[in-house]
Amino acid sequence: MVVSERSLSEHTLVETFVGRFDQHARQDFKWRIDHAITQGYRFVVLNMVAVSFIDSAALGWLVLAQRRFLRIDGKMGIIAPVGFVRDILELTEINEWIPIFQSEDEAWKAFESPDDNPLDS
C-alpha cells in the first residue's frame, strides 16, 4: 500500500491510501496513526478512493485507530471508497464507528465546524 499525506489545517491531516489495505500494511498504518497523534493532529481523514482491497484485519485497525482518536477528543473519517472496499465497509457497518464522506471538503467541514458538526450526534 502506498500512502501519502498532507495537512488540511493544524488539526486535520489527510492520509491517501493506494492499493491493498491488508495485513502487509499494518506497520505503516500504525506508524502513520502514531505519527499523526504525536504531531498534534486531532482529525485524520483516510482517503481510500484508490484502495482496491481491504481485509478483516484492516477493518479492525480502523476501529482501534478511531478509539485512539476519540480518547484525545479527535475523530477519524473515511473518504468514500468505491467498488469492493465500499461494499465491505457497508456490509460491516463501519460507518457506525467511523463516518464516511464523499470528499475531503465534506470531511474537513465536519471536523473543523463544531457548531453544525454531524459527528457529535
Residue-wise DSSP of 40-84? T-SEEEEEEEEEEEE-HHHHHHHHHHHHHHHHTT-EEEEE---HH
CATH architecture of the domain 2-120 equals 2-Layer Sandwich (3.30)
Domain boundaries along the sequence of the chain: 2-120
Whether 101 and 45 have beta carbons less than 8 Å apart is answered as: yes
Cα distance between residue 51 and residue 17, in whole Å: 6
- The residue that leads in pLDDT, 39 or 8, is 39
- The residue that leads in pLDDT, 119 or 48, is 48
Mean pLDDT of the chain, nearest integer? 89
Cell of 78: 473515511
Q: How do residues 99-118 score in pLDDT, each as one tens digit?
A: 999 888 898 888 877 554 44
According to the model, what pLDDT value does residue 114 have? 57
- Is a pLDDT exceeding 90 seen at residue 5? yes
CA of 15: how far to CAs of 91, 115, 116, 120, 121, in Å?
23, 25, 24, 22, 25
| pTM, rounded to two decimals | 0.87
Residue 116, class by beta-carbon neighbours within 10 Å (0-12 exposed, 13-18 middle, 19+ buried)? exposed
Q: How do residues 20-46 score in pLDDT, each as one tens digit?
A: 999 999 999 999 999 999 999 999 999
- Is a pLDDT exceeding 80 seen at residue 121? no
